[in-house]
Amino acid sequence: MDFALIPPAHSTFLFIPAFIFYTLLPVAGITFFIYQIVMRLKPMVLAQPDKPVSEILKESPARLMQVLKIWLLQVRQPRYMLAGVIHILLFFGFLILAVRSTELMFVGIKADFSFPFMDGTFGAVYSVIRSYAATWVLVVALMAMYRRLVTKPARYAVPAKYGKPHTAEAVFVLGMICTLVLMESLFEGSLVAAQNQQGMQAHTLAPLTLAWFFELILSSASQSTLQFLHSAAYFLHDVTFFTFLCFLPLGKHFHVVTSLFNVFLMRVRRGNIKPVRYGVSNDQLDNLESFGVKNLEDFTWRHILHFYSCVDCGRCSDNCPANAVGRPLSPRFISIKGRQLVFGRHPFFGPSKVEKAPLIGTTYEEDEIWSCTTCGACEQECPVGIEYIDKIVDLRRGMVDEGMVPQSLQKPLSAIEKRGNPWGKMEKKRGEWIKQLDSEVSVKLLEGGDTTDVLFFVDSITSFDDRMQSIGCATATLLHRAGVDFGILGKGEKDSGHEVRRFGEEMLFQSLREHNTEMIQESGATRIVTADPHTLNALKNDYEDLPPVEHISQFLAKQVRKGLLHFKPSVNGDKVYTYHDPCYLGRHNGVYDDPREVLDAIPGMRRVDMKRCKDRSFCCGGGGLMLFYEPEEEQRMGVLRVKMAEEAGANVIVTACPFCLVNMEDAIKVAGLEGKMEAIDLSELVVAHLAD
């Protein structure tokens, strides 16, 4: 084979054949990379168990689907349009150029190397595609650099308390990416220029690609210049390639390696909470020495993988309501701080520093961990499938086990333990709200061992809060009007324990679950209805062996579809309604359309959606025990949310959750919008519009 220029494999440097270097470099680079990976795996091996591999594999179809959608097709990326498109182009550029780069690596050893499948049409087509890929990668890498250095989107900023900005690392990597595609193209462009000068058969370069530009510029360059550029480009490409590879495990660019696995391993179920420890059944829990996460080693191996996979893009924190109102929580830094700790404890060289230093008070702060409402916005957004709720709950379990519970939460927890509700109201008064119902609406009070077909699980706030009892009444009225045979447990019902579990008091939750499960089973119910999304989520995702559970909005939507609900037209002409998606109805249980369908069935109702709606809904401030917690914050989440409704041009906020209603009504007052804005529960609104 004739070469227009001396190929790298045939060249010499200081009389030493270059192929020796080009053989040793990949060997050294790959060896060091594997060493790094092994060292990164070590903390995962030392970590707690996660879901058993057999169960993970059983869920393969769903997991592969997530890999296809979230990893390969990058469906979460365009939620931030510009950054998303840039990333998609970079990502596909990488996938395409990976083959070319591997091929180039071998060219340094054997000058005429090419993969067998690169002969023929496939090779020709690939060659065109990868030339364009290299070109667009340069363009988007420069755009990304411009964003990092000039535009500086707020979500990339690192608040002073979390350390230094991460711009340098990002720009350095983008610089390496630019170098790679430029050198690869210069290597090819200089060769084709030489081939053309010597009248050899040269392959056609795709027009307007980088290699094409280089060939154009170098068409009349001297042979020695071309030779120098050709050799230097190869050298720089090879060195940069292995520098890049070994740089990945050092920081946020590790996601290039880990994201595929992270997405495969992400949650396939929503709304649930991980067990205290995988492999330990509920009745063995008492034997555990310690509960939850107290030290780094208490995280599961998958949680360590999360730390490795964080891309530092800031999307989680940009959507975190706690972060938005100035609470001391930014989910992004849960990961970044975790990663820094793992890297610090397990250096590449030298022994691991295994020290039992509690995470709370060093890496994480108490208020930081209590600030989370478990709304799930961060998990919904993360492009690589990092999860936060389980970590927050595990850290809270650790704090509860150590007695570190804010005083504001101790009272309601103790009241739930003693009385089954966070206010400490008497059990016998739990069913008293039904006395407010119209006499024609009959509710069976299942306190004397009676049974029922449908059980209305009311839960604490709707049973005891003066204002929220109206949601109970509306729900009972709707069930009654639909001719449903239903009852409530009354004093036999205890708090579902939804927030008790999410605030880390697992054993109290389990005793509530045991009690309620028994009561529900004794009621003989074949279906459960609730008006509280937290209850829905608890019964559906935290409890086991219960009859099917649905939220009243799902029940109503079915009635609408069957044509069984008849409405009178909405008469208030100046009212514009907006629906606020409760986190535990929407994001955690996927019910977005049913409530909207019900609202749209009311004739004459004007409804708008807020900019943040459906899976990007913004938490009202949290439910259950969160009502009692006194966070450090600059303003209330509810106030921000009410302002979003105002911005959307609405003056009535419709919710489908008693906690949302509490928070919205309070926020309307705090925001000074009384008289201009109101909040109402879907069930109340429907009752008000029922045709007689």
Q: What span, in angstroms and rounded, lies between the C-alpha atoms of 475 and 479?
A: 6
Backbone φ and ψ of 487, nearest 5° = -150, 170
Footprint on residues 590-619 left by other proteins (CB under 8 A): none
How near is the Cβ of 581 to other proteins at its closest, in Å?
A: 28
C-beta of residue 503 within 8 angstroms of C-beta of residue 533: no
Per-residue contact track with other proteins, 206 to 235, x per CB under 8 A?
A: ------------------------------
How near is the Cβ of 439 to other proteins at its closest, in Å?
A: 19
From 18-26, 40-48, 284-292, 296-304, span contacting other proteins (CB under 8 A)? 284-292
Among 10, 428, 566, 676, the residue binding other proteins under the rule CB under 8 A is 428
CB atoms within 10 A of CB 76: 20
3-class secondary-structure state, position 331 = helix
Partners of 678 in beta bridges: 652
Partners of 487 in beta bridges: 444, 455
Query: What six digits make up the tokens of 95?
Result: 């996938």
Residue 417 makes contact with other proteins by CB under 8 A: yes
Residue 437 makes contact with other proteins by CB under 8 A: no
Q: Which is nearer to other proteins, 362 or 436 (CB)?
A: 436
From 198-206, 503-511, 522-530, 549-557, span contacting other proteins (CB under 8 A)? 503-511
Among 114, 222, 223, 410, the residue binding other proteins under the rule CB under 8 A is 410
- SS3 string of 507-523? HHHHHHHHHHHHHHHHH
Which residues are CB-contacts of 636 (< 8 A; sequence separation ≥ 6)? 325, 621, 663, 666, 667, 670
Burial class (CB in 10 A: 0-12, 13-18, 19+), 442: middle
How near is the Cβ of 426 to other proteins at its closest, in Å?
A: 6
From 329-337, 422-430, 595-603, 671-679, span contacting other proteins (CB under 8 A)? 422-430
From 35-43, 172-180, 303-311, 396-404, span contacting other proteins (CB under 8 A)? 396-404
Residue 401 makes contact with other proteins by CB under 8 A: yes
Among 291, 299, 486, 618, the residue binding other proteins under the rule CB under 8 A is 291
Footprint on residues 504-533 left by other proteins (CB under 8 A): 505-508, 511
Residue 674 makes contact with other proteins by CB under 8 A: no
Residue 73 makes contact with other proteins by CB under 8 A: no
Q: Which is nearer to other proteins, 538 or 645 (CB)?
A: 538
Residue 67 makes contact with other proteins by CB under 8 A: no
Residue 447 makes contact with other proteins by CB under 8 A: no
Rounded to a whole number of angstroms, the CA Rg of the chain reads 31
Among 413, 461, 529, 539, the residue binding other proteins under the rule CB under 8 A is 413
Which residues are CB-contacts of 404 (< 8 A; sequence separation ≥ 6)? 360, 366
Q: Which is nearer to other proteins, 506 or 581 (CB)?
A: 506
Which residues are CB-contacts of 651 (< 8 A; sequence separation ≥ 6)? 574, 575, 576, 676, 677, 678
Residue 196 makes contact with other proteins by CB under 8 A: no
Residue 438 makes contact with other proteins by CB under 8 A: no
Residue 408 makes contact with other proteins by CB under 8 A: no
How near is the Cβ of 511 to other proteins at its closest, in Å?
A: 6
C-beta of residue 84 within 8 angstroms of C-beta of residue 127: no
Torsion over CA: 541, 542, 548, 552 (sign): negative
Q: Which residue has the tokens 């390639």?
A: 241
Residue 283 makes contact with other proteins by CB under 8 A: no
The footprint of other proteins on this chain (CB under 8 A) covers a number of residues equal to 29
From 108-116, 154-162, 419-427, 646-654, span contacting other proteins (CB under 8 A)? 419-427
C-alpha triplet 17, 23, 27: angle, nearest 5°: 150
Angle between helices 506-523 and 407-419 (to 10 degrees): 30
Among 283, 466, 545, 692, the residue binding other proteins under the rule CB under 8 A is 466
From the list 546, 541, 524, 634, the residue with the least C-alpha distance to 589 is 541
Please compute, for residue 661, the number of CA atoms within 13 A of its CA located in the half-sphere on the CB side: 25
How near is the Cβ of 151 to other proteins at its closest, in Å?
A: 46
- SS3 string of 29-68? HHHHHHHHHHHHHHHHHHCECCCCHHHHHHCHHHHHHHHH
Which residues are CB-contacts of 436 (< 8 A; sequence separation ≥ 6)? 469, 473
Q: Which is nearer to other proteins, 301 or 423 (CB)?
A: 423
From 35-43, 222-230, 425-433, 635-643, span contacting other proteins (CB under 8 A)? 425-433
From 88-96, 400-408, 538-546, 670-678, span contacting other proteins (CB under 8 A)? 400-408
Distances (CA, A) of 20 to 11, 16, 410, 563: 10, 8, 69, 79
In the complex, the residues that contact other proteins under the rule CB under 8 A are 285-286, 291, 400-405, 407, 409-411, 413-415, 417-419, 424, 426-428, 466, 505-508, 511
